[in-house]
Amino acid sequence: MNENANSLRAMSVGEILDNTFKIYGRNFLSILVFSAVIGGVFSIINGLVSYQAMPMPMTNVSWTQLLENPDLAPEIDPNVFAEMMPKFLAFQGIMILLIAINGIFIKPFVQGGIINLTYNDIIDQRLTTGQGLTAALKKFWKLVLTSLSLIPYYIAVGIVLIIISVLFVVPLIFSGIAMSNDPTGGKIAGFILMLFITIAIMIILAILSNVFVTFTYHGTTIENIYGFSAIGRSFRLVGKKFWRVLGINLLIYLIVIIISMVLGFISGITSLLSPNPQLADFIVSFLITAFITPIIYIATTLLFIDIKARVEGIQEQIIV
């Protein structure tokens, strides 16, 4: 067994979080090449294109001016909506195209690159920025095939969610009608309970559908497994240590959400004071993509190593 193979071991939650930020710091510039130069710049381009293509009439009035004088808000003629319909459809097409480019090409490449940097740091074979880019480019089409394989998976998840929502929404509608006709305390409570159950089930299913594919790109990047095989590999690993994967995933995303909320709050204040609020939105979107999202990729790579060690034992290093 290689001398550094003991680095591919089970870790505590504290070790995973601690190593996440240590690895981030040691590979900061290389990670930024993927997250900021590639992912972040695309997020800015995405924002600019969507802003320019938006068919709704825009206003140059600042938030502060609008709050001081609401009459400055632009009036929209209802007849204009019919004229804007072709532009609206074109806008939707542009947005779908941008989402597809990001989901199929940009995000998998960025995620695969950061996973690769993280894994090589774990086995004490840190890569330079050039080596990291070269390694990621070698896996590019396998990452793309894996992202394409996820499309039917999410379509199936969407169909299940639609079916379940219909099963719960129909009783919810009847409950709402009954409540409106006779708004007694019991019927109001029943409506609220049905609404809560429906929302809770939808959220739980959405979370579970993402948890089971947590390690999809890790299999492609580290183990050279791609397509549906990578999805199956993720399902098998997650299934054997489901609660651990779920709990640590929720913790990771909680940390990321808190940091993002702080940035969002700052953005909201800036938007209120800025004559160009869209600029603040672009900056926050860039900061989240460039500096915060990599935390997820690094932490889940450490979790992947942890789960592999717990399920399969300490493994030999894989040179990627």
Spatial CB neighbours of 268, under 8 Å, sequence gap ≥ 6: none
Report the alpha-carbon angle 50-48-155, nearest 5. Answer: 40
For the chain, the maximum distance between any two Cα atoms, rounded to a whole number of angstroms, is 74
pLDDT score, position 169: 77
Averaged pLDDT score across all residues of the chain: 86
Residues 109/190, Cβ–Cβ less than 8 Å = no
Report the alpha-carbon angle 91-267-87, nearest 5. Answer: 10
261 vs 176, more confident: 261
Question: Tens of pLDDT along 280-304?
Answer: 777 888 899 999 999 999 999 999 9
Please report, rounded to a whole number, the percentage of residues in the chain having pLDDT higher than 70: 83
Q: Is the pLDDT of residue 1 over 50?
A: no
pTM of the model: 0.87
Q: Is the pLDDT of residue 320 over 80?
A: no
- Considering 1-10, 69-78, 105-114, the range whose residues carry the highest mean pLDDT is 105-114
Residues 55/87, Cβ–Cβ less than 8 Å = yes
Tell me the average pLDDT across 179-198: 75
Residues 168/197, Cβ–Cβ less than 8 Å = yes
pLDDT score, position 316: 61
118 burial level (CB within 10 Å; 0-12, 13-18, 19+):
buried
Structure tokens at 159: 């169909």
Q: Is the pLDDT of residue 261 over 50?
A: yes
Tell me the average pLDDT across 255-278: 81
Question: Tens of pLDDT along 137-146?
Answer: 999 999 999 9
pLDDT score, position 193: 81
Tell me the average pLDDT across 227-245: 98
Residues 106/291, Cβ–Cβ less than 8 Å = no
Q: Is the pLDDT of residue 2 over 50?
A: no
Q: How many residues are recorded in the chain?
A: 320
Structure tokens at 162: 């639609």
Q: How far is CA 57 from the centre of its chain?
A: 30
Phi, psi of 3 (to 5 degrees): -65, -25
Tokens 């397509």 appear where?
227
Q: How far is CA 293 from the centre of its chain?
A: 8
Q: Is the pLDDT of residue 232 over 80?
A: yes
Confidence of residue 168 (pLDDT cuts 50, 70, 90): confident
Q: Is the pLDDT of residue 4 over 80?
A: no
Structure tokens at 55: 């068919």
Q: Is the pLDDT of residue 58 over 70?
A: no
Q: Is the pLDDT of residue 75 over 70?
A: no
Confidence of residue 190 (pLDDT cuts 50, 70, 90): confident
Q: Is the pLDDT of residue 41 over 80?
A: yes
Question: With helix as H, strand as E and coil as C, how does the chain read?
Answer: CCCCHHHCCCCCHHHHHHHHHHHHHHCHHHHHHHHHHHHHHHHHHHHHHHHHHCCCCCCCCCHHHHHHCHHHCCCCCHHHHHHHHHHHHHHHHHHHHHHHHHHHHHHHHHHHHHHHHHHHHHCCCCCCHHHHHHHHHHCHHHHHHHHHHHHHHHHHHHHHHHHHHHHHHHHHHHHHHHHHHCCCHHHHHHHHHHHHHHHHHHHHHHHHHHHCCCCHHHHHHHHCCCCHHHHHHHHHHHHHCHHHHHHHHHHHHHHHHHHHHHHHHHHHHHHHHCCCHHHHHHHHHHHHHHHHHHHHHHHHHHHHHHHHHHHHCCCCCCCC
Neighbour count for residue 229 (Cβ, 10 Å): 16
247 vs 92, more confident: 247
State how far the Cα of 215 lies from the Cα of 227, in Å rounded to an integer.
12
